[in-house]
Amino acid sequence: MKKPFLITGFIVTLTINPLFSDVLSNSLNNMLKKKDSSGMVNLSGINVGGKRKPKVRYGNQIVRKTRPSTTVIGHYNNGKAIIKKEANAYLKKVTKGKIKDLDLLPKKQRLLVLKDLQKMYEIKHFKKRPGTTVIGHYNDDKPVLKKEANAYLRKVTKGKIKDLDFLPKKQRLIVLKDLQKMYAMKHIKSRPSTAVVATVNEKPIFKSEADNYLTSVTGGNIKDFDRLDSQQRLRLIQDISKPIVIKEAAENNVTSEEKEEIFKQMWIGKKRKMLNVSSEEMLALYNLKKQKALAVNPQAVIPNYMSLGDSLKNEILEQKIMGNLMKDVNITVNYDANKTVVIHDLNHSSVKLDKMTKTKE
Amino acid sequence: MVNVKKVLILLGLGLISSTTLVQAKTAGTVNGMKITVKDANKALKLLTKGKQTWATLPKEGKKQLIYMLAPSKLVAVTAKKQLTAKEKEGAIASYWMQKKMSKIKISDSEAKIAYNKMLKMAKKAKSKAKIPPFKKAKTGLKMQLAQEKVVSKLMKKAKIKIK
């Protein structure tokens, strides 16, 4: 009677074992499909189909080889040993009791668990620096305290991050720079309006000029040049420099004869704008011209008044301008050109003198 | 060849004494301002196509010529006196700028690129302003591009120091 039972038991054990392993695989698969709520173990890194630990046969049973729970599996950042049972406990927690032994996982996944434990330990045993720690300096060498950074951090993260030391180095530096910028803006020392803020080809640009320009381009929103950062200052000075550089180049490259002509044209243009010409004046001039022309040639073809409109106006304007200028003018004519006139002229430059000597030669 | 030594000596003299001694043949004066024979001959060359000079001109002709040249002389002096330094600077600068710009040639393709950029910018800024077609905007754009070229050349050479 005993023999058939033993045989049946043996067959049942052999068929059930692979069945159980399929059940474990399915459950792990289901866990992978579920979203991780703990946020600690990266379940997506776990591979259910990964290589299993080698099987060891004890008598008739096949058992997976696992290390004792006191085995040291790694070290925390302070050198303290990480014991396997800590990893098991963690694994049990995150897999909701589905995996209880670290050794059931392939090597890659075991390493992930170890890293998680190390991270958690680091966070748990994180030593925050006191609020009075100097984390940097403002532009006037006043120290930047950690508590100031904490307050700023709390404000900008709406209370989500309260301590600077929780941030990685790069972000800590950004916070420090922000604080320094804000301090510089708040404690700005504005220079007087007579201060020279820049030079363009050694020509000074005064702060008042820069302030005025800034006010006009920002529509009055920013009025102080000293409130700008270095890049903004450069851009603004470049803009202000353009007309200065153009004027300088023009001054050096336009001859005195050209300048005289430019001034003449400009002055005449200005005068023309100030004077008025009535239609009666234009008609009177037209009639006068017509009379003169007919007196010379009675068959002369006289153009229509309307077609002469602008030229008549221009002639009258010229007459008016010149008439004013020539009033009480004192003109002398030197009929004997060989007579030499000696002039003491303060306005003659040495360049002109040079030109004259050259022409003499 | 210009005698450099002589020029330097004359320049030195000019610097030592602010009053320069000028000797020139004068054809006439207008309110005390001289019109030189050189000026008169220049005008005569244009008026008579080189047929007459101050020396060969009869008395009446000389008088007429000086009276003809007088307004220009007066305008020059009055303009110099009445225009402000700013006005003068501005006028010289705009004259020089136009002179420089006229020497710069901007091709149609360059203008087209600038026009397309302008269109893109307007689209990006969601501008409601009407942009004229390329044909109409071309001349203005070319002027603008030429001006930018002149200015950027100058700015490259400029020595800017921020304090």
- If pLDDT is split at 50, 70 and 90, which confidence band does A36 have? very low
Q: Decide if B18 touches A, using CB distance below 8 A.
A: yes
Question: Rounded distance, CA B150 to CA B163, Å?
Answer: 27
Q: Is B53 left (phi over 0), alpha (psi -120 to 50) or beta?
A: beta
Q: What is the pLDDT of residue B15?
A: 35
Please say if the pLDDT value at position A346 is more than 50: no
User: What is the average pLDDT value for chain A, to the nearest integer?
Assistant: 80
Where helices occur in A125-168 by DSSP H, the ranges are 146-156
Please say if the pLDDT value at position A355 is more than 50: no
Question: Rounded distance, CA B34 to CA B28, Å?
Answer: 6
Question: Tell me: the pLDDT tens digits for A133-190?
Answer: 999 999 888 999 999 999 999 999 999 998 998 888 999 999 999 999 899 888 888 8
Could A334 and B38 be called an inter-chain contact, meaning their C-beta atoms sit closer than 8 Å?
Answer: no
* Among B8, B15, B73, B95, the residue to mutate for chain A (most A Cβ within 10 A): B95
Instruction: Quote the tokens at residue B86.
Output: 């700013």
Q: What is the pLDDT of residue A12?
A: 44
Looking at CA atoms only, how far is residue A152 from chain B in angstroms? 32
Q: What is the pLDDT of residue A264?
A: 93
Per-residue pLDDT, averaged over A63-74, amounts to 85
| Nearest CB neighbour to B76, from listed A254, A263, A356 | A263
Question: Rounded distance, CA A243 to CA A245, Å?
Answer: 5
Please say if the pLDDT value at position A334 is more than 90: no
Could A339 and B92 be called an inter-chain contact, meaning their C-beta atoms sit closer than 8 Å?
Answer: no
- If pLDDT is split at 50, 70 and 90, which confidence band does A39 have? very low
Per-residue pLDDT, averaged over A220-229, amounts to 90
Q: Which of A149, A45, A122 is nearest to A91 (CA)?
A: A45
Question: Which residues of chain B does A233 touch, with a Cβ-Cβ cutoff of 8 Å?
Answer: 162
Question: Tell me: the pLDDT tens digits for A269-320?
Answer: 999 999 999 989 999 999 999 999 999 998 888 888 888 878 899 999 988 9
Could A329 and B2 be called an inter-chain contact, meaning their C-beta atoms sit closer than 8 Å?
Answer: no
Q: What is the pLDDT of residue A157?
A: 93
Where helices occur in chain A by DSSP H, the ranges are 2-33, 84-94, 107-124, 146-156, 169-186, 207-217, 230-253, 256-274, 279-296, 309-326, 350-360
Where helices occur in chain B by DSSP H, the ranges are 4-16, 37-47, 59-82, 85-103, 108-124, 134-157
Question: Rounded distance, CA A183 to CA A189, Å?
Answer: 11
User: For residue A229, what is the nearest residue in chain B, using CA coordinates?
Assistant: B162
Looking at CA atoms only, how far is residue A189 from chain B in angstroms? 14
Could A334 and B28 be called an inter-chain contact, meaning their C-beta atoms sit closer than 8 Å?
Answer: yes
Question: Tell me: the pLDDT tens digits for A200-212?
Answer: 999 999 999 999 9
User: For residue B67, what is the nearest residue in chain A, using CA coordinates?
Assistant: A331
Q: What is the pLDDT of residue A52?
A: 54
Q: What is the pLDDT of residue A308?
A: 82
- If pLDDT is split at 50, 70 and 90, which confidence band does B18 have? very low
Interfacial B residues in 65-94 facing A (CB < 8 Å): 66-67, 70-72, 74-76, 78-80, 82-83, 87-89, 91-93
Q: What is the pLDDT of residue A66?
A: 84
Q: What is the pLDDT of residue A20?
A: 44
Interfacial B residues in 44-63 facing A (CB < 8 Å): 54-55, 59, 62-63
Scored b (16 or more CB within 10 A) or e, A165-182 reads eebeeeebeebbeebeee
Looking at CA atoms only, how far is residue B159 from chain A in angstroms? 5
Indicate the pTM of the whole model. Answer: 0.55
Question: Rounded distance, CA A300 to CA A287, Å?
Answer: 14
Could B34 and A344 be called an inter-chain contact, meaning their C-beta atoms sit closer than 8 Å?
Answer: no
User: For residue B13, what is the nearest residue in chain A, using CA coordinates?
Assistant: A350
What's phi and psi for B40, nearest 5 deg? -60, -45
Number of Cβ within a 10 Å radius of residue B30: 22
Q: What is the pLDDT of residue A33?
A: 54
Q: Decide if B97 touches A, using CB distance below 8 A.
A: yes
| Nearest CB neighbour to B97, from listed A246, A263, A343 | A246
Please say if the pLDDT value at position A51 is more than 60: no
Could B10 and A353 be called an inter-chain contact, meaning their C-beta atoms sit closer than 8 Å?
Answer: yes
Q: What is the pLDDT of residue A323?
A: 87
Scored b (16 or more CB within 10 A) or e, A252-280 reads eebeeeebbbbbbebbbeebeeeeebeee
Looking at CA atoms only, how far is residue A141 from chain B in angstroms? 21
| Nearest CB neighbour to A268, from listed B26, B75, B158 | B75
- If pLDDT is split at 50, 70 and 90, which confidence band does A73 have? very high
Instruction: Quote the tokens at residue A29.
Output: 């698969």
Could A242 and B22 be called an inter-chain contact, meaning their C-beta atoms sit closer than 8 Å?
Answer: no
Q: What is the pLDDT of residue A258?
A: 92
Instruction: Quote the tokens at residue B117.
Output: 């950029």
Q: Which of A186, A184, A197 is nearest to A140 (CA)?
A: A184
Number of Cβ within a 10 Å radius of residue A135: 20
Could A331 and B18 be called an inter-chain contact, meaning their C-beta atoms sit closer than 8 Å?
Answer: no
Per-residue pLDDT, averaged over A37-62, amounts to 52
Could A242 and B32 be called an inter-chain contact, meaning their C-beta atoms sit closer than 8 Å?
Answer: no
Q: Residue A278 contacts by C-beta under 8 Å, 6 or more apart in sequence?
A: none
Q: Which of A315, A308, A307 is nearest to A277 (CA)?
A: A315
